[in-house]
Amino acid sequence: MSVITQPTGLLRQQDPQMADVLAGEARRQADTLQLSAAENFTSPAVLAALGSALANKYAEGYPGARHHGGCEYADLAERIAIERAMALFGVEHANVQPHSGSSAVLAAYAALLRPGDTVLAMGLPYGGHLTHGSPANFSGRWFDFVGYGVDAETGLIDYRQVQELARTHRPKAIVCGSICYPRHPEYSVFREIADEVGAYLIADAAHPIGLVAGGAAPSPVPYADIVCATTHKVLRGPRGGMILCGAEFAERIDRAVFPFTQGGAQMHTIAAKAVAFGEAASPAFTTYAHRVVANARVLAEELEARGFLLTTGGTDTHLISADPAPLGLDGPTARGRLAAAGIVLETCALPYGDQRGIRLGTAAVTTQGMGEPEMRRIADLFAAALSGEVADATKTTRTRSDVTALALGFPPYGV
């Protein structure tokens, strides 16, 4: 394989220990199934930008107003990234400097809130992110978070509860978004509730933003004051974040990113974001985004047929949240047995009790070229890995071999 499978000869010669690590990771990605909902395979062009000379450039500030010299190409790269993001998502302003999705959310809070302000967001037991009020995170330490949940029977957001909590607590901001909610938020309803109580509306679109780019999910842009997102996941860019907003919030957002919450921009990553935005504007990406959703729906149906209990009864996105309890397993145990068989995913909160389920996504395997027949095959592999009350070494070895054969048939970077 090319691009990432084999480290360059120079690295092998200079640092064989690290060359072995990188080669091992490339093999791991190639011969296991990458079903993490938060991961994907970038294109070779994105990887090339990440490894470019811009990795050497210090560029605090913004294009035309840097604190360092020699930024003419850094400025050009960032302007291209901004222009492409604005066109792709139909916004008046984009900030492409956040180092991560969490950094983007931090900057949004810094732009709109003051310590002690009340914020209404999805509660962590129902799928809220750490930045939505976890006491271990800056959000839970600096702001007074109130959590909304989901209907106990359907698993869907209880918008009446959201409205009642908003009326009671009068939050300064409302956050819509989740790390394991497999349906589309009703952004217009959130907007109505925010307007009723005079709150800002922040959309944390880290997971669906790639589907939005490909026209496979509704956009939060017409409804939210600020949209925070990542550039990896379905969007298929480098690991990083971005913020989208209208012109009225542009200056506040830019100051909140730099100098308030971050220092120098990672210019090689910004160049890679620009490449990814350009790719996401293509008809091929639109086709890809819809295939991601189609694959997720088939995989969800097949898992349900094999005994899994699906949160909300299915999915409209790339993401599936499932409870393996009907199979006699909890989430962590299921994840461990799947990992032993070469199937990579994570656990997640379930919208009832204190159990944990499993979260998976179809973005990476779709990038590899897998389709609906492979989704059915993956469901069979799930069943093989998880059947039986206890793990069986011989069966696990056999399933691992089947997983490897499937994965190697769809190399992420060609042969």
Active-site residue flag, 159: no
Helix (H) or strand (E) holding 357: strand 356-361
Q: Return d(Cα 67, Cα 186) in angstroms, integer.
A: 42
Q: Which candidate in 60, 186, 330, 392 is catalytic?
A: 60
Active-site residue flag, 58: yes
Helix (H, G, I), strand (E, B) or coil at 92: coil
Active-site residue flag, 374: no
Active-site residue flag, 75: no
Q: Are 211 and 256 a contacting pair, CB within 8 Å?
A: no
Q: Return d(Cα 372, Cα 112) in angstroms, integer.
A: 44
DSSP state of 199: -
Q: Return d(Cα 165, Cα 133) in angstroms, integer.
A: 15
Contacts of 361 (CB under 8 A, 6+ apart): 35, 36, 37, 38, 39, 233, 234, 296, 318, 319, 320
Q: Which candidate in 31, 39, 58, 159 is catalytic?
A: 58
Burial class (CB in 10 A: 0-12, 13-18, 19+), 196: exposed
Helix (H, G, I), strand (E, B) or coil at 277: helix
Q: Which candidate in 191, 233, 273, 291 is catalytic?
A: 233
Q: Return d(Cα 127, Cα 18) in angstroms, integer.
A: 36
Q: Return d(Cα 43, Cα 184) in angstroms, integer.
A: 27
Helix (H, G, I), strand (E, B) or coil at 390: coil
Strand-by-strand arrangement of the 319-323 sheet? 309-310, 319-323, 356-361, 346-349
Active-site residue flag, 204: yes
Q: Return d(Cα 207, Cα 363) in angstroms, integer.
A: 11
Phi-psi domain of 155 (left: phi exceeds 0; alpha: psi -120 through 50; beta: other): left
Strands (E) in 205-257, as ranges, are: 226-230, 241-245
Q: Which candidate in 84, 239, 297, 359 is catalytic?
A: 239
Q: Which candidate in 78, 204, 279, 374 is catalytic?
A: 204
Active-site residue flag, 60: yes
Number of alpha carbons in the 13 Å side-chain half-sphere of residue 315:
31
Q: Which candidate in 5, 32, 230, 347 is catalytic?
A: 230
Q: Which residues are catalytic?
A: 58, 60, 204, 230, 233, 239
